[in-house]
Amino acid sequence: MLKRFLSLEDFKLFLSSLTIVSLFFSAVVVGGQAYAATQTTTLTVTVNTALTFAIDNNAGNTAFPAIDPGTPVMATTTLQVTTNDVNGWTVALAGDDQGTSNTVMDLTTDASVGLTDQTEWVPGTATTSVGNAVQIGSLDNSGDVLAFRVMSASGSVPFRSTSWWGSQDNYLTDSANTLWAGIASSTVSRNIGNAGAGSYSSSVHLNTVQYYLDVPASQQSGSYTGALTYTATAN
Amino acid sequence: MFRFKSKYFFAFLPCVVLVVGVFFLPRFIDAATGLTIRPVKVSHTIKPGESVSGVIHLSSASDGEPINVEASVEDFIPVAGAEGIQFVGRAPGVTTVRDWIDLGGKKVFDLKQDEQVEIPYTVTAPENAEPGSHFGVAFFKATRPDSFGEGGGLSIGTRIGMLILITVPGNHLQKGNILGFTGPAFVQKAPVDFQIKFENTGTVHFEPKGTLTLRNMFGSEVGRVPIEGQTVLPTGIKDINVSWEVKGWLLGRYSATAVLYDGEGVAVTTGTITFWVIPIWYLLGFLVAVLVLFVILRWLKRRVRISLVSP
């Protein structure tokens, strides 16, 4: 076919070019393989697995600003996870003193008085499966609850889940793309983040947990405190 | 006398402010609270009545004041149909792993910044331990004193755990299925990454091991990759990632066959997929080189004449 477009001399030149380039590329490929074939020394070592987990906020305490009933407030906690285990890690969250008959945050002078919690978080079977988080407009108790979410538009990619928390981080704005859930009880700590083997990275994985809080006008005034525990394990 | 132009001064001023702010003004740095644990997971096979021991290495990943650490042991169970686990405090049963594990040393202690400790542990399977898998986790929780004042707030604890997987030998099954075997349909060069979705349908946790065999379009074997290193809990599903690293040039259609074996060496299941390797940039470079050399040779042939002149 080339003969139709090239003269005989040009066709011979083309074949010469093809031959020269083929020899050159073959030499590069074979030479690389031959070089590799001579590198047969094998050294072996076993690297032990390790996991580091830390929170970064005011030495372990998160304070809300003073709240007026009907005006929700926010606070945050930043999490850092690092591991060299290729199977990745899982992070769970639970309220230390939270249960069906007890709230996460109680009045410091009377533990029987507490701030209402949103329905406990139940994750999907995978970070790509929907959980039971809802937007602000669908929160229990007309939005007068303590709720949380993990940021999904910022932070390390393996630590994000748009299926669980929505695709946007709208601060205190009622949006179907920003979902919130209640803090799980200490008897059934629930996963809030997971980096499986497919998304593993040896670098530090960071993300921030946002807390949402609003109270009704009838909420007893005073200082309320609570304790949370973030747990990290390898997969 | 040195004269400083006003336009340079106003350009220089923000830089001065920035430098002063970075290096001289007080900075509000939140103190980190955290721990590092090593190893992250251990697996032991223990006959009823026997024990096994090990050491947990724990270090502070916190800064500032020392942290308070509290050690504990809990059970966990695999989440059916998923890769995750669930901490349950105490699993169902007369006796569970949290009763079998004894953590040596103090249960509550302080750790200074960068301090490391070694915590011995012993796992003793009772005489009436049921055959099969049993799961526990050794937790270490780091906290700092509350400092809310009158404002209230949330006290945040950081907890890290080492998973302990126990197998009591006896009448149990190590079976599973490959739910999916995926890989790229097309790549330009190695490495080629594959993913095997494996479901443990047995009664104990085990590490499915096997081989990924690569063949070229002529049926000849061109590579063999071991599959190992990822434990799957009973009822659990895990994505096992395998990567084919090869030095050399690849071109054409290849097939990959995955064979996994249970704990007794019996082939659990197999799967085969095909993919193409076309080094596009390499081929484009080759064609460009041919055309360039052709043009050069054609130009030389028409422009340059070499003749021998007799003296």
The DSSP result for B107-154, as a single string, is: SEEEE-TT-EEEEEEEEE--TTPPSEEEEEEEEEEEE-----TTS-EE
**Model confidence over B32-73: pLDDT tens digits?**
889 999 999 999 999 999 999 999 999 999 888 889 999 999
For A156, the token pair is: 């390390």
The DSSP H or E segment spanning B103 is strand B101-103
| pLDDT attached to residue B279 | 86
Is pLDDT at A4 greater than 80 in this prediction?
A: no
Helix axes A8-37, B280-303, angle to 10 degrees: 140
Report CB contact under 8 Å: B147, A75: no
Percent of chain B with pLDDT over 70: 81
Interface predicted TM-score (ipTM): 0.79
The predicted pLDDT at position A180 comes to: 96
What is d(CA B208, CA B212) in angstroms, rounded to the nearest whole number?
12
CA distance A229 to A187: 12
Q: What is the pLDDT of residue B20?
A: 43
Q: What is the pLDDT of residues A48-77, one digit of tens each?
A: 889 999 998 665 677 788 888 989 999 999
pLDDT at A22: 85
Of the candidates B128, B134, B130, the one whose C-alpha atom is nearest the C-alpha of residue B98 is B134
User: What is the predicted pLDDT for the residue at A51?
Assistant: 93
**Residue holding tokens 């998304």?**
A199
pLDDT tens digits for range B290-311: 899 888 888 888 877 666 666 5
Q: What is the pLDDT of residue B306?
A: 63
pLDDT digits (tens, 9 = 90+) for B182-202: 899 988 888 898 988 888 888
Closest CA to B37 of A46, A52, A204, A90: A52
Q: A26 in contact with B at a CB cutoff of 8 Å?
A: no
Indicate whether B29 pLDDT > 80.
Answer: no
Whether the pLDDT of residue A23 is over 70: the answer is yes
More reliable by pLDDT, A6 or B157: B157
Radius of gyration of chain B (CA): 32
Instruction: Tell me which of A51-65, A122-136, B243-257 is least confident.
Output: A51-65
- Token duo for residue B187: 């790549």
Reply yes or no on whether the pLDDT at A26 is more than 80.
no
| B238 contacts in chain A (CB < 8 Å) | 197
- The strand pairing partners of A102, in sequence order, are A99
pLDDT in tens, B121-132: 999 999 988 888
Instruction: Give the contacts of B268 (CB within 8 A, at least 6 positions apart).
Output: B175, B176, B177, B178, B208, B210, B260, B261, B262
Enumerate the residues of chain B whose CB falls inside 8 A of the CB of residue A54: 32-35, 61-62, 158
Q: What share of chain A has pLDDT > 90, as a percent?
A: 45
Nearest-CB residue to A60 (from B37, B79, B155): B155
pLDDT recorded at residue B26: 36
Residue A17 confidence (pLDDT): 84
Residue-level pLDDT at B19 = 47
Sign of the Cα pseudo-torsion (B242, B247, B253, B254, in order): negative
Q: Using an 8 Å Cβ cutoff, are B242 and B215 in contact?
A: no
CB pairs under 8 A between A and B: 222
Q: How high is the pLDDT of residue B24?
A: 40
**What local confidence, expressed as pLDDT, does residue A159 receive?**
86
